[in-house]
Amino acid sequence: MLMALVGIMIYLAFRFQWKFGVGAIVSLIHDVIVTVGILAYFQITFDLTVLAAVLAIIGYSLNDTIVVFDRVRENFRVLRKASLIENINISTTQTLLRTMATSISTLLAIAALMIFGGDNLWGFSLALFIGVLAGTYSSIYIANVVLIWLNLNSEDLIPPAATGKEVDDRP
């Protein structure tokens, strides 16, 4: 799981910017700790299905966090005079309806698994239910706060300047 988190951080650092990668990893670690902590507190058996649920939570939460981060990045271009906090507030508000609709529909499907899935799927569906709740919370409230702590600014999103040593291969 740690190797997967490192791989995700490297991908996000190349795809977006390293501050977004740190924010996403902190959010993902939060989701895993909350899910595993609640399961441990209530002494729910941790088997392969629960492990599969935890890995699914990582993917679900990462997708949700990237949607919010992508909007923050887009709004840096649109809202040039807005502060970082204003940008994050506007971006989160713009994605909130989508985030809530996705989370509620996912939770309804997971609740059906909890009710009708039987004993074999109980741990899996319970871990997913907890993880989706934690993932929704963390992508809205935790990942964005990390961007504020790291003082993300528009200069962080500008690609590096060309050095002038590139060769023009055009005819």
What's the CATH number where 76 sits?
Answer: 1.20.1640.10
Assess contact for 113 and 121: CB atoms under 8 A: yes
Question: Is 162 part of a structural domain of the chain?
Answer: no
Question: Is 169 part of a structural domain of the chain?
Answer: no
Does 171 score more than 60 pLDDT?
Answer: no
Assess contact for 8 and 69: CB atoms under 8 A: no
Q: What is the pLDDT of residues 84-133, one digit of tens each?
A: 899 999 999 999 999 999 999 999 999 999 999 888 899 999 999 999 99
* Residue indicated by tokens 């997971």: 110
Q: What is the pLDDT of residues 51-88, one digit of tens each?
A: 999 999 998 999 999 999 999 989 988 887 888 899 99
The total number of structural domains that make up the chain: 1
Residue 78: the pLDDT is 87
* Residue indicated by tokens 């895993």: 32
List the one residue out of 71, 130, 127 whose CA is nearest residue 99: 71
The DSSP result for 128-155, as a single string, is HHHHHHHHHHHHHHTHHHHHHHTT--GG
Tally of CB atoms within 10 A around 108: 9
Tokens representing residue 69 in the block: 């981060």
The boundaries of the domain holding residue 136 are 2-156
Question: Is 163 part of a structural domain of the chain?
Answer: no
List the one residue out of 71, 44, 70 whose CA is nearest residue 131: 44
